[in-house]
Amino acid sequence: MGRTGEKARSLVAEDPAFAEALTVVLDRAGHTDDDPEPDGGTRPHTVQWGDVSDELTSGQWGRLIETGILHDADGDGFAVSDPAEVREALGDDAVDTSATDDDDGGTWTTYDKLAAVGAVALLPSYYFDPIRNAVGGTADLVLGPFDAILPFYAVIFVLSVLTGLYTVLFQSALMDTEQMGDIQERMSDIQERQKDARERGDDAALERIQQEQMDAMGDQLGMFKLMFRPMVWIMLVTIPAFVWMYWKLGVHGGGGVEHIAQGERHIVMPMIGRMAWTGAEGRILGLLPVWLAWYFICSFAFRLVIQKTLNLQTTPQTG
């Protein structure tokens, strides 16, 4: 089965209602054989929105165009890209409409929800000393041995590498970047067609496109769910690491600088020079804490290295 057939299968698996929609489009677009042209070529049978608007929603119509199952027939409506493949896909018993119910990239599992609850429960540790001290002290059971053998700046370096690694892994594993790219392309296509309709003053088309845009809002919500799903797992691991650094440095009353050895209370920053971890001397341009800047520099650099080395995709795939 070719690419068009696979797209049809995917749509039906995503929403069983597309099986009926595709059947209607095939029926009203004409037969499989194309019409003969005077020059010996063929002209594909076409269908327009008005031909199927009584059976299809504008969202379904837009989705068929977006996926390429319907393509522009040089201004004479839309033609089905490969009717035979679409018919084969509709008649294929392998189309399992329950697949997306059990394995939907946008659906949160029970574990995802528990991770979200845990991440939210950890947020107060940033603001309340007793909670910060409890979380920081607990995290120190894991991070303390590293701190005992490494200077503090090296511990931050190790943390930044580890957080960069699991951030990329979580995003790659839990985000459906292809689906997100499809949603972005669909919204971009709707906006482009809406702009064209305004320019030519086609009120009927504009009204239809606006309705399609409203239908697509659900897809946008799904994209936000896709983006936020790995975030709760990242927060669940990152918050204790940050709270430990707060606790170690005594930031906001987190226990005092006595958690850092006397000889480790300064760092030599590239192009800046020697700086203290805390206090007025510990801020770049008087604003950004030096320990936070050091963490982000290391994390950003190694995250790019990890992403390129492992060839992981963490952004929407378009085109």
Query: In the chain, what are the domain boundaries?
Result: 3-102, 110-310
Confidence of residue 75 (pLDDT cuts 50, 70, 90): low
Distance CA 195, CA 181 (A): 21
What pLDDT, on the 0 to 100 scale, is given for residue 44?
61
- Examine the pLDDT at 74 and tell me if it is beyond 50: yes
- Examine the pLDDT at 92 and tell me if it is beyond 50: yes
Average confidence score pLDDT of the chain: 78
**Please, which residues have CB within 8 angstroms of residue 147's CB and are 6 or more apart in sequence?**
140, 155, 248
The β-bridge relationship of strands 288-289 and 283-284 is antiparallel
Confidence of residue 294 (pLDDT cuts 50, 70, 90): confident
What one-character-per-residue DSSP string does 30-90 give? --SSPEEPTTS-EE--EE-HHHHTTTS-HHHHHHHHHHTSEEE-TTS-EEES-HHHHHHHH
What pLDDT, on the 0 to 100 scale, is given for residue 178?
73
The model's pLDDT over 12-53, given as tens digits with 9 standing for 90+, comes to 877 788 888 888 888 887 654 554 444 444 456 788 888 888
The model's pLDDT over 232-243, given as tens digits with 9 standing for 90+, comes to 999 999 999 988
- Examine the pLDDT at 7 and tell me if it is beyond 90: no
What pLDDT, on the 0 to 100 scale, is given for residue 232?
92
More confident residue, 107 or 247: 247
Confidence of residue 58 (pLDDT cuts 50, 70, 90): confident
